[in-house]
Amino acid sequence: MSDSMTVMQERDIRTKTIGQKIFKILGKTGTYAFLLIMALIVLFPFYWMIISSLKTLAEYRQAIPTFWPREVMWGNYVEAFQTAKLGDLFMHTLYVGVVSTIISLVITVLSAFAFARLEFKGKEMLFGALLATMMIPGELFTITNYITVNNLGWMHSFTALIVPFLVSVFYIYLLRQNFMQIPNELYLAAKVDGTSDLKYLWKVMIPLAMPTLISITILKMMGAWNSYIWPKLVANDQAHQMITNGLRNAFTDTTGQANYPVQMAAVAIVSAPLFLVFLCLRKYIMQGVSRSGIKG
């Protein structure tokens, strides 16, 4: 009797184990199937952009779209580069992005260090006030910034594209949280040894916070690269035009007809640098953001 009960228990355990394995396999299969479908949905617009950039204008305008070009037009990329003067647009955007990123990093590092390590009257109140400004939509500052830039005589200049966005409260908060994770005993020991604040910042805190600084650099460059509304308002002339607003009417002829395949080729060229940067440095973005949110 006991042997039969033992056999039945073993069968129940074996059946339960097999059921759990089947359920686990089905769960993983469903998860990967869902992720695959979502990946296809996300990647399809990029695929459509690339194949559209390789079509002729007649094929692009067909009522029934084709999912692969009948005739591959690599010349669309050459025409896009020459027609839109992408070389000048790239240089303008790169200049604004690099200069604004370097100055913004200096301001962010010094501000984050002050709020993380230095002691001064009203520090917490001032930091709270800065955080409160993050709840104000950025679009509300557009009119006041435009009036200020116009009164200062900065219209149609790189200064108008760089100065208004040098300070980012979010980046200061992000780096300050990372600095707060560094033990304060290191700072006190450095002060006992006679190390200045700037030397301690340069030798200790910046190397330890390098993933977050890389994340801020990438995000700042991407923001400058993708900026559209503000450059169109304050610097829409040929000498200061950036990539995002420089492509808007570059491929429209006098009759108002646009060469969409060439325009798609230009969009693909412009999107490639950001895609490559994110592909190569995505781990730094994730690492920097995750490290900055562990301790408040």
**Residue-wise pLDDT tens digits, 189-228:** 888 888 888 888 888 899 888 888 888 888 888 888 888 8
Q: Return all residues near 241 (Cβ < 8 A) that are at least 6 apart.
A: 88, 89, 92, 231, 235
- One pLDDT digit (tens) per residue for the chain, 296 residues: 555 556 566 666 677 677 778 888 888 898 999 999 999 999 999 999 999 999 988 888 888 888 888 888 898 898 888 887 888 888 988 999 999 999 999 999 999 999 988 888 888 899 999 889 888 887 788 888 999 999 999 998 899 999 998 999 999 998 998 888 888 888 888 888 888 888 888 888 998 888 888 888 888 888 888 888 888 888 877 778 888 777 777 777 666 677 888 888 888 888 888 888 777 777 766 665 555 544 44
* pTM of the shown model: 0.77
Q: Return all residues near 141 (Cβ < 8 A) that are at least 6 apart.
A: 164
The CATH code that applies to domain 77-291 is 1.10.3720.10
Query: Whole-angstrom Cα distance, residue 203 to residue 248?
Result: 46
Return the closest-CA partner of residue 202 out of 104, 110, 288, 290.
110
What is the Rg, in whole angstroms, of the alpha carbon atoms belonging to the chain? 27
Query: Whole-angstrom Cα distance, residue 47 to residue 52?
Result: 8
Which neighbouring-strand residues pair with 258? 252
